[in-house]
Amino acid sequence: MNNKSKYTAAAAQLGPIDPSEPKESVVARMLNLLIEAKTKGTELVVFPELCLTTFFPRYYITDPANLDTYYESEVPISLMSDMFELVRKEKIIISFGYAERDNGIPFNTSVYVDSSGNIVGKYRKIHLPGHYEYEPDRPFQHLEKRYFTKGNLGFPTFDTTLGRLGMCICNDRRWPETYRVLALQGCEVVTLGYNTPKHYPLAPEHDHLQEFHNHLCMQAAAYANGMWVIASAKAGLEDNCELIGGSCIISPRGEIVAEANTTMDELVVAQIDLNECTLIRENIFDFNFDIYIPLYIYIYYIFFY
């Protein structure tokens, strides 16, 4: 596989998706961002978590038929045919998140589509935030624990022409373990999407820190693991719920090298150099020598059991 170490990548941020907006309309917006990416010579494009619909865990949905409209039993290739065609024609790798039903089991999922137009990677969200039961005191719900099953694919990495890629989804990005497990497998670029409300009902004191916490966890992880992080938000005022933007591309040095300026549909573009990963991993955090896994296992054991 002729790996490229230097190429252009993008976070394709989406603005609000109204509950009434058809998936076809959202896909047309995604296609516009992909066309813009093509014109800018971009080879890796990252779309947000659950990017085909409004962030439906915000609602307590009792009608199973209505809830089912948010899920896909297969990757919606026919719905996204124009995007897949462009991916094949322009040799672009994309990732996007959607709600998956696998033999009826619901997952918060993301996939990679490579330049052949094939699905070459899948990840299912492991860290599911929020709650299971309807909580009337909340201004909006966050029912991911109700609507999704904990991911059962681990944190896999995928060898592509653009390096060894790995995915996580939204709340996963707040947990250092996510990145370390990927880094120990040689992951060079982590791609992720998120839907993050500005208001966190259980800790409103943190509301003014949401944008800071968003970047803090990813910048620290990028540096500590010598990885690129490409993070794509679903942003803006979505059915009266404010979602933070801040889509960005973070280098293994921990620097934000590109960031969204709006909370609307916006392509955030930067040059990726995979050699930056090696610089960190060989000189700062020497994974070959300094990592002591048995100690970590012992610490987890005494802490958790």
Per-residue tokens: 168? 């996580």
Q: Which CA distances in Å does 303 have to 115, 154, 171, 297?
A: 44, 21, 22, 10
Establish how many alpha carbons lie within 13 A of residue 291's alpha carbon, considering only the half-sphere containing its beta carbon: 15
Q: State the minimum distance, in angstroms, from the CB of residue 217 to ligand ING.
A: 9
Annotated catalytic, 49? Answer: yes
Annotated catalytic, 170? Answer: yes
Per-residue tokens: 280? 């960190």
The active-site residue, picked from 51, 168, 170, 241, is 170
Question: Binding string to ligand ING for residues 156 to 185, with x set by CB under 6 A, is what?
Answer: --------------xx--x-----------
Q: Can you give 197-240 as a three-state secondary structure string? A: ECCCCCCHHHHHHHHHHHHHHHHHHHHHHCCEEEEEEECEEECC
The answer to whether 200 contacts ligand ING (rule: CB under 6 A) is yes
* Cβ density class 10-36: b for 16+ within 10 Å, e for less: bbbbbbbbeeeeebeebbebbeebbeb
Nearer to ligand ING, 146 or 174 (CB): 174
Q: Return the residue of 194, 218, 274, 281 that touches ligand ING, per CB under 6 A.
A: 194
Q: Which of 248, 245, 242, 219 is nearest to 233 (CA)?
A: 245
Q: Return the residue of 53, 110, 115, 195 that touches ligand ING, per CB under 6 A.
A: 195
Question: Binding string to ligand ING for residues 108 to 147, with x set by CB under 6 A, is what?
Answer: ---------------------x------------------
Annotated catalytic, 125? Answer: yes
Q: How far apart are CA 29 and CA 36, in angstroms?
A: 11
Question: Binding string to ligand ING for residues 213 to 242, with x set by CB under 6 A, is what?
Answer: ------------------------------
Contacting positions for ligand ING (CB under 6 A) = 129, 170-171, 174, 194-196, 200
> Which residues are tagged catalytic?
49, 125, 170
